């Protein structure tokens, strides 16, 4: 184990290196670029004996990974924002082909107007492509989750692609201490890929194929069933990782002081760190507040939120993107999950940090304050001035 100060992008690259990926597809986009630069250095130095394919677009990057994975190789690529959107068609292909690709995604806002700031609209708009999605809070979590993602993706009962996302700049370009596990430890956690249902030279078989309506639904159901197996498989994988490293990031949903909380905020990514500190401060002030970090977004851990709803009367879901005509995407997912619950807490959707705006302690306090004051349910843009009628009436 080595403790190093590194960026989230370095954490992606180190994890791919420790995972002994065999094929890397590389295409630059801000703020992802340093991931593939660092991997290029690993390959050039002989540290990582991988095929480094310099593609002409993100679209081709993902196709390279799909085709390489279809032949049994362990593959990695990384992208962000517009690049992820260009991959859209191939995201479906990767999942339908059951190729266990792991991809780093730096969450960045989507043009127009051009903006480089952190925003979850890029990955949220790809949430129904059949990829497993993790959102990371810290660079350590980035590194650990990428390694866990390979175990999960290649699990014979899963065999689906995984994206591990990190907030632009707040992780991608922020350096902080990260423990890098030794190669031998990673090798024992993550052995070589047990390639199944892949193409074999000399063996006639067609991967992809085409069907009428008859088998198509069965194939889709197979993907859905694999998704249903993810929570249990991930729990097992993270426990194994913890037994080797002593570290856990708390499963699909990581709870902090929610046991007796009157109000709970649901957060994703880097805002969680700030929110945790505010929870401690507000607890010290006598407010029973708690925090649920949503780490695994796809498949959505609905049962965990039904469990949370039994313990608390007020839930605010904090989203770094929005769904037109509704609320934040995480908020709509939580609402859907709670519809099948006998407990229906007040559920508010808070939109904050969009386009790279800071999520400050004051934001967190204000959101908790609204929940504790009995306001809501509401959908509220926290970075914008309050609605005029609210100003008029106090």
Partner 1 sequence: MVKLTIPAPELMYSGHSACPGCAPALAMRLMLKGLGPRTIVSVPACCWTVVATPYPTTALGVAMLDNPIESTGASISGLRAAADALGLTDVHILGFAGDGGTADIGLQALSGMLERRTNAIYAMYDNEAYMNTGVQRSGATPLGAWTTTTPVGDGARGKAEPKKDVMGIVLAHRPVYAATVNPSFPEDFVRKVEKAAALRGPRFFHIFTPCPPGWRYPSDQTIEIGRKATDCGIFPLYEVEEGRYHVTRKGGSLRPVTEYFQAQGRFSHLVPEDLARVQAQVNADWQRLLRLESGT
Partner 2 sequence: MGATIEIRFHGRGGQGAVVASELLAQAAFLDGKRPQSFPFFGVERRGAPVTAYTRIDDHPLGIRTSITTPDIVVVLEPSLLRTQPVTDGLKEDGLLLVNTRNPAQELMIPVPARRAVVDANQIAVAHGLGSLTMPIVNTAVLGALVAASGVVSMTALDQAIEEFVPARQAENRAAAEDGYHAVRMVEANMPFTPPVPRAVGPTPQLPEGPMATLSSELIHTAAWRTLRPVVHLEHCTRCNFCWKFCPDDAFQFDEKGYPVVRYEYCKGCGICVVECPPRVIEMVEEV
Among 1, 206, 285, 325, binds partner 2 (CB under 8 A): 206
DSSP at 270: T
Pairing of strands 346-351, 379-381: parallel
Of partner 2, partner 1, none, which one does residue 54 interact with (CB within 5 to 8 Å by kind)?
Answer: partner 1
Kindly indicate which of the ranges 62-70, 147-155, 264-272, 346-354 contains the residues binding partner 1, using the contact rule CB under 8 A: 62-70
- Asked whether the CA dihedral 299, 304, 309, 315 is positive or negative, the reply is negative
Taking a C-beta distance cutoff of 8 angstroms, is the pair 74, 19 a contact?
yes
How many angstroms separate the first and last alpha carbons of the chain?
Answer: 56
**H/E stretch holding 80:** strand 75-80
Query: What minimum distance in Å lies between the beta carbon of 126 and partner 1?
Result: 16
Among 113, 201, 202, 212, binds partner 2 (CB under 8 A): 212
Residues 85-124 contacting partner 1, CB under 8 A:
89-90, 93
Which among 43, 68, 94 has a CA at the least distance from the CA of 193?
A: 68
Kindly indicate which of the ranges 65-73, 159-167, 225-233, 318-326 contains the residues binding partner 1, using the contact rule CB under 8 A: 65-73
How far are the Cα atoms of 156, 263, 290, 296, 364 from residue 279, in angstroms, in the given order?
40, 10, 6, 22, 9
Kindly indicate which of the ranges 206-214, 290-298, 333-341, 348-356 contains the residues binding partner 2, using the contact rule CB under 8 A: 206-214
C-alpha span between 102 and 150 (Å, rounded): 6
**36 token code pair:** 């593939």
Residues 53-92 contacting partner 2, CB under 8 A:
none
Residues 165-204, mask of contacts with partner 2 (x by CB under 8 A):
-------------------------------xx------x
Among 96, 250, 251, 377, binds partner 2 (CB under 8 A): 96
Residues 167-186 contacting partner 1, CB under 8 A:
none
Among 30, 33, 60, 274, binds partner 1 (CB under 8 A): 60
C-alpha span between 352 and 368 (Å, rounded): 13
Among 16, 17, 19, 23, binds partner 1 (CB under 8 A): 23
203 sits near partner 1 (criterion: CB under 8 A): yes
Applying CB under 8 A, what is the total number of residues that bind partner 1?
43
Among 2, 45, 184, 209, binds partner 1 (CB under 8 A): 209
Ramachandran bin of 213, using left for φ above 0, alpha for ψ from -120 to 50, beta for the remaining angles: alpha
**188 token code pair:** 């024992």
Question: Which is nearer to partner 2, 14 or 150 (by Cβ)?
Answer: 150
Residues 218-237 contacting partner 2, CB under 8 A:
218-219, 222
How far are the Cα atoms of 130, 189, 216, 238, 251 from residue 199, in angstroms, in the given order?
21, 26, 21, 30, 34
C-alpha span between 101 and 74 (Å, rounded): 7
Binding site for partner 1 (CB under 8 A): 22-23, 25, 50-51, 53-57, 59-61, 63-73, 75, 89-90, 93, 199-212, 215
Binding site for partner 2 (CB under 8 A): 96-98, 156, 159, 196-197, 204-209, 211-212, 215, 218-219, 222
């Amino acid at each position: 184990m080595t403790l190093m100060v590194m960026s989230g992008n370095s954490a992606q690259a180190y994890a791919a290196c420790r995972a002994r990926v065999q094929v890397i597809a590389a295409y630059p986009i801000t703020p992802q670029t340093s991931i593939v630069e660092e991997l290029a250095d690993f390959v050039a130095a002989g540290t990582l004996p991988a095929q480094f394919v310099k593609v002409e677009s993100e679209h081709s990057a993902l196709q390279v990974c799909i085709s390489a994975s279809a032949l049994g190789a362990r593959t990695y690529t990384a992208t962000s924002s517009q690049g992820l959107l260009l991959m859209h068609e191939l995201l479906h292909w990767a999942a339908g082909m059951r190729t266990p690709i792991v991809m780093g995604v730096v969450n960045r806002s989507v043009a127009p107007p051009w903006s480089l700031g952190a925003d979850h609209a890029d990955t949220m708009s790809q949430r129904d492509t059949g990829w497993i999605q993790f959102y990371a809070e810290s660079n350590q979590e980035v590194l650990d989750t990428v390694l866990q993602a390979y175990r999960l993706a290649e699990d014979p009962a899963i065999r689906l692609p995984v994206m591990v996302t990190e907030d632009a700049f707040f992780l991608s370009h922020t350096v902080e201490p990260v423990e890098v596990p030794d190669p031998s430890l990673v090798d024992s956690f993550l052995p070589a890929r047990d390639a199944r249902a892949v193409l074999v030279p000399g063996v006639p078989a067609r991967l992809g194929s085409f069907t009428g309506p008859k088998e198509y639904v069965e194939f889709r159901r197979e993907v859905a069933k694999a998704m249903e197996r993810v929570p249990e498989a991930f729990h097992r994988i993270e426990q194994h990782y913890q037994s080797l490293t002593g570290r856990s990031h708390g499963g699909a949903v990581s709870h902090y002081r929610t046991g007796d909380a009157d109000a709970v905020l649901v957060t994703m990514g880097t805002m969680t760190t700030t929110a945790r500190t505010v929870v401690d401060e507000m607890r010290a002030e006598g407010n029973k507040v708690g925090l649920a970090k949503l780490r695994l977004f796809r498949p959505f851990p609905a049962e965990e939120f039904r469990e949370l709803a039994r313990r608390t009367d007020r839930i605010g879901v904090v989203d770094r993107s929005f769904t037109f005509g509704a609320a934040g995407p995480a908020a709509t997912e939580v609402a859907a999950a709670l519809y099948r619950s006998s407990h229906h807490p007040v559920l508010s959707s808070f939109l904050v940090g969009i386009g790279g705006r800071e999520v400050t302690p004051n934001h967190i306090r204000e959101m908790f304050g609204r929940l504790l004051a009995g306001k809501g349910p509401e959908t509220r843009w926290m970075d914008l001035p309050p609605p005029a009628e609210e100003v008029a009436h106090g």
